[in-house]
Structure 1
Amino acid sequence: MLLATAPSLQKYKEMLTMSQFATQVDARKYEPKDKHAVIFQTFLDLKKGEFMELINDHDPRPLHYQFLAELDGQFSWEYLEQGPEVWRVAIGKM
């Protein structure tokens, strides 16, 4: 008897590539003073149901709090990778 198993969460996250995202923001390329503005503008440019991938060199938790304060109920936030060198987050527009 052959049993099918679901892929692990880690394997699923690895399968998420740029093709699943409308756009990608590599925050490591921006000056600290510009990062949040670029990320927010990119999010605002998404259509409902689209996702962006955020890549950063530290946990973007303060950005998440800013999203909650300004856009509560309008986005989804899913960590795809959590350091120690790279953090990746899928941010969806609801």
Structure 2
Amino acid sequence: MNTVTKSASSAASAVIDVRLIPPSQRHGLIFKEFESLAVGAWIELHSDHEPQPLKQQFQAQWPGQFDWETLEAGPQQWRLRIARRPAAKSCCGCCSGAN
């Protein structure tokens, strides 16, 4: 069974229906798909619950490098779009981050 549907569109990478994936494999698959995204591309995620823990993991692992858009907010189904942003340029620390 294919749980990730690839899109022909250059902007979209995949639609992932996590309801079809064993819970222990869900976040790993989503992270792998996100890491393979080009800047500006996105994943559409379908779930039977609000994926708040997943969002917290994204905030910890990729701060400022993704957009999280809720397309449908339950109560039976949640649909999200997670888009890849360019990585923020890091400062050398010489000026406390000021320009």
The structure with the largest helix share of the pair is 1
Q: Greater relative contact order (Cα 8 A, min sep 6): structure 1 or 2?
A: 1
Q: TM-score, normalised by structure 1?
A: 0.77
Question: Counterparts of 1:3-82 in structure 2 under 5 Å?
Answer: 21-82=12-73
Inter-partner Cα distance in structure 2 for 1:66 and 1:50: 19
TM-score, structure 2 as length reference = 0.73
3-state DSSP class of the match of 2:82?
A: strand
Identical aligned residues as a percent: 42
> Any idea what the Cα deviations from partners look like across 1:16-43, whole Å, max 9, x if unmatched?
xx65632111111111110000001011
One-letter amino acid matched to 2:34: F
Q: C-alpha separation between the residues in 1 aligned to 2:20 and 2:12?
A: 19
Once residues 37 and 22 of structure 1 are traced to their aligned partners in structure 2, the CA distance between those partners, rounded to angstroms, is: 16
User: How do 1:75-94 residues align onto structure 2 when only pairs under 5 Å count?
Assistant: 75-94=66-85
Gap runs ≥5 in structure 2: 1-6, 86-99
Inter-partner Cα distance in structure 1 for 2:36 and 2:22: 21
Number of positions where the alignment pairs a residue of Structure 1 with one of Structure 2:
77
Unaligned 5+ runs, structure 1: 1-17
Runs of 4+ in 1 over 4 A off after TM superposition: none
